[in-house]
Amino acid sequence: MLKVGITGGIGSGKSTVCRVFETLGIPVFDADAAAKYIMEHDETVIHAVKQLFGNEVYKNSLPDRQQIASLVFGKPALLQQLNQIIHPAVLKYGYEWMNRQSAPYTIKEAAIFFESGSYTQMDIMVGVYAPKAIRLERALKRDDATEEKILQRMANQMAENEKMSRCDYVINNYASHAIIPQVLKLHQVFLQKANAV
């Protein structure tokens, strides 16, 4: 089965693009949602997170995400330690999920494919691009976070132009670029590639 990765910076519109693929019957694995699930249900991960930050970051068996975010904010080394706990579990979960699907191809949505090295598990990488000012505006409307925190999260990710240059295909999601025609075109390309595998 063909494995397609979809990536892009905060506010680029990855989830919107993935929803269009889902309407075409393509299964989508959301790495962020999986990470949240794992932090709540995977005992090994829960134990390791508590070891890193202390038991108080879990309240009523649920992670206090705001507290964890504030603890790693501006501390790249600590964020990296957290990622080293969560990413391997998400990779394993995603790999098992993809192998259970029966569609011609599957999609995995994640912001940090290249940063984490997980792009190597994908056959094709697709980038979703929007200029930084537009991404910031979208993230401010969507997320309950300050401009400073969003800019910090952007700074922790790979530069957008480098990320897009490493992708096989790029979907433009800004101004007059309509995403549905771009998705439909790629859908046909992926179906052909899946049939050739």
Query: In terms of Cα–Cα distance, which of 91, 51, 85, 57 is closest to 71?
Result: 57
Cα distance between residue 154 and residue 174, in whole Å: 18
Cα distance between residue 23 and residue 13, in whole Å: 16
Rounded to the nearest integer, the mean pLDDT of the chain is 93
Q: How confident is the model at residue 69 (pLDDT cuts 50, 70, 90)?
A: confident
Given this model, what pLDDT does residue 155 score? 83
pLDDT digits (tens, 9 = 90+) for 71-91: 988 788 998 899 999 989 998
Kindly give the pairing relationship between strand 62-63 and strand 58-59.
antiparallel
pLDDT digits (tens, 9 = 90+) for 142-193: 887 888 888 888 887 888 999 999 999 999 999 899 999 999 999 999 999 9
Extract the tokens encoding 136: 């910031």
pLDDT at 44 over 90: yes
Average of per-residue pLDDT across 1-10: 94
Query: In terms of Cα–Cα distance, which of 6, 5, 183, 28 is closest to 103?
Result: 28
pLDDT digits (tens, 9 = 90+) for 16-39: 999 999 999 999 999 989 999 999
Given this model, what pLDDT does residue 197 score? 74
- pLDDT above 70: percentage of residues in the chain: 100
CATH class of 2-196: alpha beta
Structural domain boundaries of the chain?
2-196
Q: Which residues of 84-114 are buried (b: 16+ CB within 10 A; e: fewer)?
A: ebbbebbbebbeeebeebeebbbbbbbbbbb
Given this model, what pLDDT does residue 157 score? 82
CB 128 within 8 A of CB 8: yes
Cα distance between residue 63 and residue 56, in whole Å: 9
Given this model, what pLDDT does residue 153 score? 82
